[in-house]
Amino acid sequence: MYNNFGYVIAVEKLLGIEVPERVEYIRVIMGELQRIASHLVALGTYGVDIGAFTPFLYCFRDREKILDLFEMTSGARLLYNYMWVGGVSHDLHPDFLRLAKDFVDYFRPKVIELNNLLSYNKIFIERTANVGILPLETAINYGITGPNLRASGIAFDVRKEDPYSVYDKLDFDIPKGEGLHGTVGDSWDRYYVRILEMEQSLRIIEQAIEQIPDGDVFSAIPKRIKPPKGHVYTRVENPKGELGYFIISEGGLQPFRVKVRAPSFVNMEIFGELCKGHLIADVIAILGSLDIVLGEIDR
């Protein structure tokens, strides 16, 4: 959902399209549900990497509830094609907002459960605290973004620093690493920032559900696209970091160039630096803490 989000914003900026407010709220709700779903995969598989299998089952159980909401809305569980230029492909199902609110209420205590099960587990802490420490200056020099940057001690988030959609109308905090069990910027901090971000996403979803207006979600979808010549760059706060789209148009239906600034491709650059001086077993803990997806790297 968030990859779609970033692209449609870029094309709408190029075409000068202003979408209805209802569409903006729908996109934010879907984007934050996707953030939680993405982090659940990251946290669950990270536990498996280090030897804890049960949290993986719990995380994927809860992720299924989000995928059910996506399927209800778009008919798909992974590749959605839901956000269209100028709007969305379908308006929300009549039961969607109620079920989304039910999920928020259901999931809040599950975050506490995950903390008790994995975050504060003695073995997990020993495997991740003070492992793969990423100093803030190094993170900035390498262009690291997203939770991996914030874990190093800076609350930089595109949703706050360069607001888009209706994020500026919503109240939420930006978690950052504080070195609770080790050094700021270690693998445990990178893990725990994602836990905290899920809690903030719940706040955003709750507010968006309360504020979403009625209206048409199709009125701004162009019947024919005739882009002007020019170029545009937009960025969004993808679950894995800053996702940017650079589009060059020569006035035709096909773009002359589309360059994607994928967060995992950039974040992976720091991997070799983080592994220096550690044991082979620590390499797994460091890699898992970066939460990469190979589709953004091996292109």
| CATH number of the domain to which 85 belongs | 1.10.645.10
Q: Which two tokens stand for residue 134?
A: 């990423």
Residue 166 burial (CB count, 10 A) = 18
Q: What is the pLDDT of residue 253?
A: 87
| Alpha carbon distances (Å) from 82 to 23, 67, 85, 130, 276 | 11, 13, 10, 41, 43
For tokens 């905290």, name the residue: 196
Q: What is the pLDDT of residue 284?
A: 96
Contact 107, 62 (CB under 8 A): yes
Residue 279: inside a domain, yes or no?
Answer: yes
Q: Which two tokens stand for residue 286?
A: 């460091």
- DSSP state letter for 146: T
Nearest to 96 by CA among 73, 75, 115, 76: 73
CA 192-163-166 angle, 5° bins:
95
| Alpha carbon distances (Å) from 297 to 177, 241, 262, 279 | 25, 13, 8, 25
Residue 54: inside a domain, yes or no?
Answer: yes
Residue 107 and residue 110: Cα distance in Å, rounded? 5
Q: What is the SS3 assignment for 240? A: coil
Residue 260 burial (CB count, 10 A) = 17
Q: Give me the residues paired with residue 238 across strands.
A: 241
DSSP run (H or E) holding 123: helix 122-128
DSSP run (H or E) holding 235: strand 229-238
The domain tally of the chain equals: 1
pLDDT digit string (tens) for the chain, length 299 residues: 999 999 999 999 999 999 999 999 999 999 999 999 999 999 999 999 999 999 999 999 999 999 999 999 999 999 999 999 999 999 999 999 999 999 999 999 999 999 999 999 999 999 999 999 999 999 999 999 999 999 999 999 999 999 999 999 999 999 999 999 999 999 999 999 999 999 999 999 999 999 999 999 999 999 888 899 999 999 999 999 999 999 999 998 899 999 999 999 999 999 999 999 999 999 999 999 999 999 888 76
- Side chain identity at 75, as an amino acid letter? G
Q: What is the pLDDT of residue 100?
A: 98
- Side chain identity at 133, as an amino acid letter? I
Give burial (CB, 10 Å; 0-12/13-18/19+) of 81.
Answer: exposed
Residue 119: inside a domain, yes or no?
Answer: yes
pTM, two decimal places = 0.96
Residue 98 burial (CB count, 10 A) = 11
Residue 202 and residue 176: Cα distance in Å, rounded? 17
Residue 244: inside a domain, yes or no?
Answer: yes
Residue 229: domain span: 2-294
Nearest to 274 by CA among 265, 283, 261, 262: 283
Nearest to 295 by CA among 224, 249, 233, 238: 238
Residue 108: inside a domain, yes or no?
Answer: yes
Residue 299: inside a domain, yes or no?
Answer: no
